[in-house]
Amino acid sequence: MSPFLSAVITITLSAYGVAMLLALWRVLRGPAAQDRVLAIDLIYTIGILIALVIGLRYGSNMYFEAALLIALFGFVSSAAMGKFLLRGEVIE
């Protein structure tokens, strides 16, 4: 791997880390429940991006499968949280 690509991956991962910390701050200090759910969606999206960048760095397909699983569980959890906030119950 070229030194330029290695530096770009390091910068990208650190930027994703900062974005995840800011989203975590919004989860902890959000004024409304909707803001917290949106911040959790952002955190799992950043987790997907981190898994993809690490997969590019190491050239392993396992990270891409992990990103797919994170996306699947994130979608299901956001749908459940949205339904809970809308109706007050998840399972009818």
Residue whose C-alpha is closest to residue 72's, from 42, 44, 30: 44
- Both tokens of residue 20? 């995840």
The whole-chain average pLDDT of the chain stands at 91
The confidence band for 87, taking pLDDT boundaries of 50, 70 and 90, is confident
Q: Which residues have a Cβ under 8 Å from the Cβ of 12 and sit 6 or more positions away?
A: 53
pLDDT attached to residue 90: 64
pLDDT attached to residue 88: 75
pLDDT attached to residue 1: 79
pLDDT attached to residue 92: 65
The confidence band for 68, taking pLDDT boundaries of 50, 70 and 90, is very high
Distances (CA, A) of 74 to 11, 58, 71: 25, 24, 5
The confidence band for 30, taking pLDDT boundaries of 50, 70 and 90, is confident
